[in-house]
Structure 1
Amino acid sequence: MAMIYTNSTLFNYSIPNITGRPWSAFVGCEEMVAGVLFGLTVQILNCLMGIPANMMVLWLLVRNKGESSTSDIFIFNLALLDVFFVIMVPLDVVNVFFLNNKQVWGVQMFVYGVKDMGGPLFLSCICLDRYIAVIHPITFTRFKDHKYRAALSVVVLVITFAYAIAKAIGGISHFEKIFTVIVLTTFTFMVFCNISILWALKRSGPGKDEMHPMKKKAFKMVLSILAILVFNFLPPVALFPFQDYYSAAVFRCYIQPFAFNFVNISSCTQPLLYLSRVEKIPWLTNLKKKMCSTGKTPCP
């Protein structure tokens, strides 16, 4: 049976075999259901928390556009793509368990293509923007106009939707390698940018508490992005290059859904981390103060 190496909600989607058996997301994995249970749990959580969190991020960015930072346009586009991704989760679950429709499957592949490419690329844009701002401030000043970020966002969206369309159409030889290369490349680039920024900010004063307030804010932002990278992107980066060391069934039914769902849950973790840094939401600020007073979170 031919296999498509793809990001799916619960499972790898396989090309129907020559026996003419109806298409199903579970072909070849009927006896290995742990990946299904893990994926279903992750996606339900992603949907329940990702939709309100991303909508709140979008609302804050629109409301405070007069005070926007240079990275906000990338954060806005990333939140838009994440909203699109999580609102399609119910359709995916219904198709997997009830419809078993190949046309719906094509729509799902487009959605996952958007997630596969858009997330890493826009996170890379945020890291690049922060890297230039901290490491090369003179260059950053020359290119501070929002039109440069808008143009870069358009390029990223074109690449993202082109990849998603190609994934939905299918049939491209070795297409699966594109995602592996993109994840490995962007992960390496983002880790380099973030570590360079953290190192530069730490050297700006004898201690973190003596940093300039803007540098301290940048330090926290970069640290949160680095946490996202390690938690959401390290599993596929660490596991996918060793695909040949696993049996086809184990990789398809366990390794692949496990690693991909760490990427998928970023639609929830990214907006939550962004909101945790926001100080302009009264109820959120009060919650953080209460947690601080009880010792559940470090006081600023």
Structure 2
Amino acid sequence: MNNFTTPETFTNSTTQSFGLIESLEICVHSINLFFSLPAHSYIIWLIITGTLSGVASEFFILNLSVCELGICLNGLVFILSRWISSLDILDMFLIGLTTTGRPLFQCLMCVERYLAVVHPVTFLKYKPLRYRVICCTAIWIISLGSCLVCMYNLASKNVNAYAWFLTMQLTLVISIQLFCLVAVLRALKQSGPGERRRREEENHMKRRAFHLILITTVTMIILYFPFIITGISIILTADNSPTIWFTSLTCFILAGFVQPALYLHRTGKLSCLCSS
């Protein structure tokens, strides 16, 4: 079974080609474990050991990093399931964190930047930590439901339902991010009233928010657009080629390093690690 696909019975490739793809998948997951696990563990440590206000302002990133640790666990379970077949069901369950948890937390961060730029009054109203906890709790509940849905669809070998579920939710998340990106860009082009210095400070804040949303959106497209294309292809042709899924998996793993690198660069820790 591919980590993002249905079980082996859905593939009609030869044993040799499937073995090659499976070996490449194990290599990709091993690379993800080697880099993502220490990076996100370090981010969680930085946020937790910071000030209380720092924890509040970085609460979404904290939850995203915890979700990324779950994705690393999914990769480890996938590798171990090659030798321990009883872990297959756990592998199917943890896929929900990949297909739902990560994109929703990243989308939530973009919506936060959108509110800060376009609707600052609303942003200040819902800035307290309790509202962030409510949002993150809702996402964790949704992710748990997604884990159950993925496990059911994959265990019951319902590839069409899995493809529909994957395609619809990723399309929705990317659409929301594109909306936030365009709205912040429009707000950036509009110069507000007031002194010149204040306008420059506001524009600087808007530019930072725009760049963050732009990078996150481009990353999301690289992460999930191949999955959307693959899902549509499966819906239309019922062809569940492991090679196509491997391409999507590779894009997902490589683009997943952008978010922790951005955070470490913003906090000044990336340059320290590189210099050391």
Instruction: Note whether the superposition's TM-score is higher than 0.5.
Output: yes
RMSD of aligned alpha carbons:
3.1
Shift of 1:237: 2.8
Q: What is the percentage of aligned positions where both structures have the same residue?
A: 21
What is the number of residues matched between the two proteins? 264
1:298 is matched with which residue?
Answer: none
Shift of 1:241: 1.9
- Could you list the per-position Cα deviations for residues 16-75 of structure 1 after superposition, in whole angstroms to 9, with x for gaps in the alignment? 9xxxxxxxxx77442434533442332121111001110111112112243438662221
- The alignment status of 1:112 with 2:103, answered yes or no, reads no
Distance in 2 between residues matched to 1:143 and 1:176, nearest whole Å: 35
Q: Secondary structure at the match of 1:126?
A: helix
- Label 1:38 to 1:122 Cα distance change in 2 as closer, same or farther (>3 A): same
1:20 is matched with which residue?
Answer: none
2:138 is matched with which residue?
Answer: 155
1:191 is matched with which residue?
Answer: 178
Task: Specify which structure has the higher proportion of helix.
Answer: 2
Distance in 2 between residues matched to 1:261 and 1:13, nearest whole Å: 19
Unaligned runs of 5+ in 2: none
Q: Are the aligned partners of 2:78 and 2:91 in contact in 1 as well (CA < 8 Å)? A: yes
User: Quick one: which amino acid aligns to residue 190 of structure 1?
Assistant: Q
Distance in 1 between residues matched to 2:177 and 2:271, nearest whole Å: 29
1:13 is matched with which residue?
Answer: 7
Q: Are the aligned partners of 2:223 and 2:255 in contact in 1 as well (CA < 8 Å)? A: yes
- Label 1:69 to 1:222 Cα distance change in 2 as closer, same or farther (>3 A): farther
Q: Are the aligned partners of 1:86 and 1:267 in contact in 2 as well (CA < 8 Å)? A: no
Unaligned runs of 5+ in 1: 1-5, 17-25, 291-300
* TM-score relative to the length of structure 1: 0.75
- Label 1:93 to 1:275 Cα distance change in 2 as closer, same or farther (>3 A): same
Q: Are the aligned partners of 1:35 and 1:254 in contact in 2 as well (CA < 8 Å)? A: yes
2:124 is matched with which residue?
Answer: 141
User: Quick one: which amino acid aligns to residue 101 of structure 2?
Assistant: G
Shift of 1:246: 5.3
Shift of 1:13: 1.9
Q: Are the aligned partners of 2:163 and 2:234 in contact in 1 as well (CA < 8 Å)? A: no
Q: Are the aligned partners of 1:128 and 1:193 in contact in 2 as well (CA < 8 Å)? A: yes
Distance in 1 between residues matched to 2:272 and 2:131, nearest whole Å: 33
Choose which of 214, 227, 231 in structure 2 pairs with 1:236.
227
